[in-house]
Structure 1
Amino acid sequence: MTKSIQYMNPAPLAKPNGFSHLTTLDSVAFISGQVAYDSEGNIVGPGDLAKQTRQVLTNLKHALAAAGSDFSHVLKMNFYVRNISEAVVAQIREVRKDFLVETALPASTMVGVAGLAKEALLLEVEVYAHIP
C-alpha cells in the first residue's frame, strides 16, 4: 500500500523559504540541500569549512531523524562545494567520519560550484535515504 507524500520542516532546522526541507514517500526520504544555518537561519562558521561541514551534517541528522531514519540508511549524498580542492575534500571527509558509518558508506557525488545561496556559505549537501 502506497503512503501519501509527506512534506516536513523539522523544528531544529531554519524555516525554509519556498521549499520543504524533507519529503517522504513510502520508505524513501528526500532531503533538500542543507547549508550551515542554525535553527534561527544564521550562518554557522563563516569562512570555516570544518564548522560549516559539521553544521550541515548536524542539520541532515535532524532531517533524517524527522523522517525516522539516520545516517546508516543514507543511500546517496550530493555535495556542492565552493572553492573545491584536494585539501577541501580531505577536510570535508574528516568531519564526515563523525557522522557516517564506515561499513555503510552511501553513494556520493562531490561537485565544485561557483556559488551558493549566500556568499558566506561554503557547501551544501542533499541526501536520499531509506526509512526503515
Structure 2
Amino acid sequence: MAEHVKHLAPQGVAPGNGYSHVVLGTGTFVAISGQIPVDEDGQLVGPGDAEAQAKQVFENLNRCLAAAGATFSDVVKLTFYVTDVAHLPAVRIARDAYIDVEHPPASSAVQVAALFRPDLLLEVEAFAVVNG
C-alpha cells in the first residue's frame, strides 16, 4: 500500500466487498481515461469474452499508470462501465490481479445500455494520487 494513500472505514457504513468507501491521498492527482479492451494497435481483444476484455483493460490501465509514474497502489478510485452486470465477476478477477485486495480503491460499477462500440463489453477509468 502506498504511504501517501489512506483507506478509511467510516463508522455506521457497512464494509465494502472488494472496495473501500473512502480513500485519501496526498500528492499529484492523476486521471486515467476510460480504458477499453484494445491492444497497442487498436485491435479488439477478446470479442464476446468478458474475461479476456477485462484482462486487456487492466493491462492498459497498468500501462497508463506507469506513464504517469504511478502504480495500482496509487489508485484511489475505479469506475467500471459494463454492458451487463453479469460481466462483473470477470472484471473482479482481472482487477484483483492488480490491486491490493486488503486495501482496495474506492469503486463504482455502472451497467450501461451500450458503450461507444457495440463489440465492447466494458470500460474502466481510474483516478490515482502520486506521491510528490
TM-score (normalised: structure 2): 0.76
Quick one: distance in 1 between partners of 2:47 and 2:54? 11
State the distance in 2 between where 1:91 and 1:61 align: 17
Q: Does 1:51 align with 2:52?
A: yes
1:103: how far off? Answer: 2.4
Residue 81 of structure 1: aligned partner: 82
Q: Which amino acid aligns with 1:49?
A: A
Identity score, percent? 42
Moved over 4 A (4+): none
2:102 aligned counterpart, secondary structure: helix
- How far apart are the structure 2 equivalents of 1:130 and 1:103? 18
2:8 is matched with none
Local SS of the residue matching 1:28: strand
Which of the pair has the greater relative contact order for Cα pairs under 8 Å at 6+ separation? 2
Describe the SS at the equivalent of 2:85: coil
2:41 corresponds to 1:40: yes
**Structure 1 unaligned blocks of 5 or more:** 1-25
What's the CA shift for 1:92? Answer: 1.4
In the superposition, the TM-score normalised over structure 1's length comes to 0.76
Q: For this pair of structures, how many residues does the alignment match?
A: 105
Aligned partner of residue 53 in structure 1, secondary structure: helix
Helix, strand or coil at the partner of 2:39:
coil
